[in-house]
Amino acid sequence: MAHALVGGLIGVAWLVLPGMTAGGAVAGGAVAGGGAERAAAGAPRRVENERTSPVDLVLPVAAVAAAGMLAGYGFWRRGRRATGRTTPGGAAVQAAEPTAGELDERARAALVGADDWVRVSGEELGFAAAAASGGTEDVARALREARAELAVAFRMRRQYEEGVPGEAAARRHALAGVVGRCEETGRLLDTRAAAFDQLRGLEEGPGGGLGAALAVAESRFRELTGRTGAAEARLRELAGCYAPAALLGVTGHAEQAKDRLVFATTRLNLARQSADRDDVEAAAGRLRAAEGGVAQAGVLVGGVERLAGELTAAAALVGAALTGGEAEIAAARRPGEGAADPYADLAPGELRARADHADAVLAGVRAEIVSGRRQDPPALLRRIVGAVAPIAA
């Protein structure tokens, strides 16, 4: 029974804990930008030499000004870089083979760009689905396929950074594969660009899709305003209950969400003014920028809300994990009592050393719990699981 208990706890811990300290960070996200007005419908779709701040492949919380530069590229309107230049006569110039360093930088930039495209696309699709009565299925399918391609690209990049493959030529091929997957991500999004523009109908003006989209954005803005205030208060409560390390993943999220909302309300007001003047192109661009700000505020606030629940769940598991761990230690110290000895492959000295180590770790956890200091429940669970796993039968 004890084995089953601790086994279940270990399983739950390994499934739940990896995301707990992130506090709702979006894995694989690259840049969270509120966005300036995006390219209007009918504008050229090429964006030259766009730049994104360096990332470690997690969602950074960029300043609103930096966000403006990114979201300006528009939904499904990613800029395609030419793979080579063309001479006045039209003949393609063969580009020199990039160095390993250049190819590495190209792969990094491709991941950042593709992640931006997918993120912004998802944001706008959410608003479009809320405003439209239907018809988003094909666009949603393209977004799912694009996300799948991007996930593969991230996986390839992680393997590359872990040294797989090891041979130089194969590593170059892996980087080229990352770039190719990112380009396919963009192609999948581009295939539905026209359909999505038609679905949103922003060019129809206030009496058509633009009016409905403004209403949805304003409604979500009001909802997020209330949730942001609640998240700020919840963060203060969490800070009084848990160690600072437990909250690192969401430090500053409430303030950043408020910044996004300030940006969003400004753009919503400008969008309304432009719509009232029948300047549909400007109104659509400002609306898209506002939608980006609201969506990013939602991510930040959602991270706080999610972490609060995860910390509560982790704190509730600590006691049971300690009890189950102690049962495993006791079983390890009297091997061979059952019909089958689960530790038969271990030397007695090795098993005893593992049990002693686990016992010391659990004693340290118990001492920390009764110390009166604020705790980091996910970290305590990781310590328990890490100590007990080597002896768990």
pLDDT on residue 97: 86
80 versus 351: the higher-pLDDT residue is 351
- The string of pLDDT tens digits covering residues 314-352 is 999 999 999 999 999 998 888 665 556 777 778 878 999
pLDDT at 6 over 90: no
Closest by CA position to 253, among listed 308, 313, 299: 299
- The number of angstroms, rounded, from the C-alpha of 76 to the middle of its chain's C-alpha atoms is 19
Taking a C-beta distance cutoff of 8 angstroms, is the pair 277, 299 a contact? no
User: pLDDT of 251-274, one tens digit each?
Assistant: 999 999 999 999 999 999 999 999
Whose tokens are 């050229």? That residue is 44
Q: 200 phi and psi, to 5 degrees?
A: -70, -40
> What is the spatial distance between Cα 275 and Cα 286, in angstroms, rounded to a whole number?
10
Q: Return the residue matching tokens 């009565």.
A: 133
Residues 6+ apart with CB under 8 A from 52: 30, 31, 70, 109, 112, 113, 116
245, amino acid identity: A
Q: How confident is the model at residue 14 (pLDDT cuts 50, 70, 90)?
A: very low
**pLDDT, tens digit (0-9, with 9 covering 90-100), for 346-374:** 887 899 999 999 999 999 999 999 999 99
Domain ranges (residues) in the chain: 2-8+313-336+344-391, 25-82+99-309
pLDDT top residue among 100 and 73 = 100
Least reliable range by pLDDT among 36-50, 83-97, 178-192: 36-50
Flag whether pLDDT at 56 surpasses 80. Answer: no
Percent pLDDT > 70 in the chain is 74
29 band by pLDDT with thresholds 50, 70 and 90: very low
What pLDDT score was predicted for residue 134? 80
- Say yes or no to pLDDT of 69 above 70: no
Return the amino acid letter for 239. Answer: A
Taking the C-alpha atoms of residue 68 and residue 293, their distance in angstroms, rounded to an integer, is 9
Out of 3-7, 60-64, 113-117, least confident range: 60-64
- Of the candidates 110, 124, 111, 118, the one whose C-alpha atom is nearest the C-alpha of residue 142 is 118
242 three-class SS = strand
Q: What is the pLDDT of residues 206-217, one digit of tens each?
A: 988 999 999 999
Per-residue pLDDT at 16: 43
- Each residue of 129-184: pLDDT tens digit? 998 878 899 999 999 999 999 999 999 999 999 999 999 999 999 999 999 999 99
Q: Is pLDDT at 110 greater than 90 in this prediction?
A: yes
pLDDT band at 278 (very low <50, low <70, confident <90, very high): very high
What one-letter code names the amino acid at 142?
A
Token pair recorded at residue 184? 């396919």
Say if CB 9 and CB 324 are below 8 A apart.
Answer: yes
For residue 25, the model assigns a pLDDT of 38
Mapping DSSP to helix (H, G, I), strand (E, B) and coil, where does residue 27 land?
strand
Confidence (pTM): 0.74
